[in-house]
Amino acid sequence: MKERGPGRSRAAAAKRYQSRLNKRWDELKWLYCELYSQRADTEQRLQELAEAMRQFYDTRSKSLKETDCKREADPDWYRRNDLMGMMLYANNFGGTLQGTAEHIAYLKECGVNYLHLMPLLASPKGKSDGGYAVADFRTVQPELGTMKDFAALTDACHKNGINVCLDFVMNHTSDEHAWARRARAGEKAFQDRYFFFDDYTIPDQYEKTCPQVFPTTAPGNFTWLPDCRKVVMTTFYPYQWDLNYSNPVVFNEMVCNMLYLVNQGVDVVRLDAVPYIWKQPGTNCRNLPQVHTIVRMMRIISEIVCPGVLLLGEVVMEPDKLAPYFGTPDKPECHVLYNVTTMASTWHTVATGDTALLRRQLDILAGLPRNCVFQNYLRCHDDIGWGLDYGFLAQFGLREIPHKKYLNDFFTGKTANSFAIGELYNDDPRLGDARLCGTTASLCGIERAGFAGDKAAQERAIRYDLTLHAFMLSQSGIPVLYSGDEIGQLNDYSYKDDPEKAADSRYLHRGRFPWELAANRNVPGTLQNRLFPALMHLERLRRSHSVFDASVPFWTIDTHDPSVLGMVRENEQERLVCLYNFSGEERTAWIREGSEEYRDLITGELLPPTDVLLPAFGCCWLCKAKS
């Protein structure tokens, strides 16, 4: 008798799983056994991992499995020009997870179909580092709701065509995680999940070569625990204990945590601080080969259990350290990476008015294979670090420490030519290595002009805000707005009145979403109405022109003006010339792109692509359809 109904469906699902497993198991086994070759329990741990993978697949919902199949059949689904992202904190945006779900209509009005939810898992109050000190990977912060509420939110998003991204903090746990509590209580098996030492003899060896992440607010890479008289590795903050991935139990358990979260409806897993996850004395404990082995294994596991899920790598490194995290075409690692260097180079250009560094960065990206997909952004939840190409800048007489000081002085309003209002984070006067905080609107001049009542300056600042977003949208990859940027949200200084936040200036740009101001997006003459419709217009243009697809080649062009950046994108249908003026004065892009007229997609105006006049802080997208 033929199998019917649910039984046949289960059999088909089991067959699909086995097929995926058969294709990838040999490589997974080889990598796992090589990484843990010094362990006597490797085979046992590998078998435990295999059993857990099957269990998570079996409990994965029918709808998520259907999405997996669709994306397997369309592996380029995330590389096209129809994705538009937004990152937000659920508590700031909707109060709770349920409240966030109630605002899905607004997200759709924003053109968002990729929602990056900032950390929302259980973290101790007062020492959570913005949610990046996780005490339980399977529990939501109580004030936001429950894991059931989270699954309901992801389901509602999916029904509205919105993909969901969630941070996965894999380098460390909170010191209040169950593993940490048992380690502190003296259980050796749990101490082995971290880096525990009896004294500073070995930690001192690490310190010789391992840089400090926060030399001012959290100096050193280790913390003494007086209650159990042990030293534990804490690369970031003392309450964030580094996990020891040389222990296969750690890898297995963290993979299970990841699979648990994707089964709640997560489409994109942001791998937080991934370059740091393997520690080895005598090295800088960054970007070690074993990191790539671990990420490759996570990619294989996701392709077996949940192939519709993307891995987004948070790799805050220079370009030559960045590209390896994509892996190779036959052995891929991350699907998408943060485009941190372009973001930082963009703000450098805002402060200097010189596009040379930004052009160099784009030229580097243009030389990468077209399957390298980046997540592009102007601002995010984090500070701006000045990890620039100082070797390149040296030829212009710019030295690292003085130049960092200039950038920070500019964006905190200390220079005569500044229009920005920002604050420093982790300021270390000895090293001159502070980072920068502030919203896009405040950093590009909207806040200062508004307070001064300078209408001309505000007009330029609004134009600059839109030009910076246009530049971000014209880059290859997935553009992501930071919630509030679409309505020009300004710095929020109320964090200074909250004892739990006052010491962390990053809360300057992590303010509550101003729904009362968002209502003005349809009120003519308001700041919100000046920004919101114009930004939505740019998004619609991007979605409707295939020349913005991530696979389309692009290159920079000479404009013969150091303040004007020129970039061309071209496919079989269209040729697009993008021009951006980073000067506060009217400038001309001295280009010669042919005799035929192009249409500026933004204004609809027909223009010859020759000697193009750009207003202060203005831009244009000149497009020509091919016959």
- List of residues 6+ apart from 166 with CB closer than 8 A: 116, 117, 120, 261, 266, 268, 269, 270
- Measured in whole angstroms, the distance separating CA 532 from the mean position of its chain's CA atoms is 23
- Measured in whole angstroms, the distance separating CA 343 from the mean position of its chain's CA atoms is 11
Q: Long-range contacts made by residues 395-398, C-beta under 8 angstroms, separation at least 24? A: 396/354, 396/356
Instruction: Name the burial class of residue 501, with classes exposed (0-12), middle (13-18) and buried (19+) by CB atoms within 10 angstroms of its CB.
Output: middle
- Spatial CA neighbour of 176 closest among 231, 112, 127: 127
Contact 590, 382 (CB under 8 A): no
CA distances from 247 to 45, 155, 181, 375 (A): 10, 35, 18, 31
Q: How far apart are alpha carbons 163 and 263 in whole angstroms?
A: 14
Contact 210, 221 (CB under 8 A): yes
Contact 144, 96 (CB under 8 A): yes
Can you tell me whether residue 432 is helix, strand or coil?
coil
Q: Is 272 a catalytic residue?
A: yes
**How many other CB atoms are there within 10 angstroms of residue 318's CB atom?**
15
User: In 3-state terms, the chain is what percent helix, strand and coil (to 5)?
Assistant: 40, 20, 40
Q: Catalytic residue, from 272, 447, 504, 539: name it.
A: 272
Q: Is 51 a catalytic residue?
A: no
Q: Catalytic residue, from 314, 383, 447, 539: name it.
A: 314
- Measured in whole angstroms, the distance separating CA 552 from the mean position of its chain's CA atoms is 22
Q: Which residues are catalytic?
A: 272, 314
